[in-house]
Structure 1
């Protein structure tokens, strides 16, 4: 059975400050400098019978996976609440970009658009995003975002994903799996011990995404989180 830990009410400002501090202090062990191994091994699962025309990457940070999608001609839309990694994404890939306000996502929200690649990145709170912004998507690459989102926002997040994916569309989802009690003795203050990331299991995904989506387990691999052995699991969710 899964144990997702205690849900703690976190304000929007606290949520922003939590992730801003991680980027400011380079506590970004969640960022992969290379293409995600699950993605490289299972990218065909995102295609179905045809290559996806567009893909959404929630809580994208500066993921190199987004350029990989765009290089394949897939319209790529990412979103993160922190501005710094979005700017770094463009500068580290040598891309020129344009910036504009995105008032539909909040007064301070911004949209960064590549001048050379089919990439748009929003700096905004994901709870404000909706299909009215860019329509629906053929695919979503959830590279652990569902494990990172605050638990009080989880229902909103899942409902957003359900509404964003068109019929027949696919979500490739990476999650972590571990017993949260193993973190009790981690040599950190309680507020800096995992979760997040929050563990999720197949029964959780079936409960949250069914019956709109079918859930298929693809692969599990050993991993490490703050010195503890955990597992990463990959699932394919298909919109019925």
Structure 2
């Protein structure tokens, strides 16, 4: 899967990339009431313009991307000075309020996410095959503190075989994957596009640890 993803970027097969900010981000992010200075984690971020939208609203953004080409293109298409450094196994580029960590999301650990308080997923869950999605949902939960809020945009395919990525992820699977660690609510189901994909918009809040019952109960 990792090699396939890199090959897509090398060959320019990035039909999943949007040339505009996602309207669901503009519509539903404000409803989360995330503090403007909260750092936002964006897994499998590509070169998404959504990261610049978040940064323009004051959020420090931490994007994680496997393909070096995506990171290079994001920086080249942006403006401002770029600083580069290494953090563990990740090569990091910083431009303005956006940090791009180039490497495997599953190698990103909680000690590297100490300042993260929110997340945004438009193309991470749906980029992963079914066998990996549970691992992704669990790992994401481990990186986020109780109360962290996020926006997830999933896809369902109305007809035809699922030859992703992007993969079709039904609503019941989203609930099964995330409900153990998140309070989640489906906010919208958008009309199918020309490929038969319908986007579903979810808001999530990381559950806190269970409290011990008071003595005597």
TM-score, normalised via structure 1 length: 0.79
The question of whether the paired residues in 2 share the 8 Å contact of 1:176 and 1:233 is answered with yes
Q: Which residue number in structure 1 is paired with residue 7 of structure 2?
A: 21
Equivalent residue for 2:28?
Answer: 42
Secondary structure of 2:29's aligned partner: helix
Per-residue deviation, 1:63: 0.6
Residue 163 of structure 2 corresponds to: 194
Taking the TM superposition and a 5 Å limit, the aligned residue runs for 1:109-148 are 109-114=90-95, 117-148=96-127
The answer as to whether partners of 2:45 and 2:123 remain within 8 angstroms in 1 is no
The CA deviation at 1:142 is 0.4
* Structure 1 gap segments, 5+ residues each: 1-14, 184-192
Shift of 1:132: 1.0
For 1:185-238, what per-residue CA distance to the aligned partner results, in whole angstroms no more than 9, with x for missing partners? xxxxxxxx72222222332122112232111011111233xx632211111111
| Alignment of structure 1 residues 213-224 onto 2, 5 Å | 213-224=182-193
Q: Distance in 1 between matches of 2:42 and 2:133?
A: 16
Q: Counterpart of 2:160 in 1: which secondary structure?
A: helix
Name which of structure 1's ranges 147-156 and 35-44 shifts more when overlaid on structure 2: 147-156
Q: Runs of 4+ in structure 1 displaced over 6 angstroms?
A: none
Bigger relative contact order (CA 8 A; separation at least 6): 1
> Residues of 1 paired with 2:136 and 2:115: CA distance?
15
Asked if 1 retains the 8 angstrom alpha-carbon contact of 2:36 and 2:58, the reply is no
CA RMSD across the alignment: 1.9
Is 2:163 the counterpart of 1:182?
Answer: no
Gaps of 5+ in 2: 208-217
Partners of 2:155 and 2:80 lie apart in 1 by 32
Determine if the alignment matches structure 1 residue 61 to structure 2 residue 46. yes
Matched residue count: 207
Distance 1:218 1:146 in 2: 17
SS class of match (2:83) = strand
TM-score (norm 2): 0.87
2:176 is aligned to 207
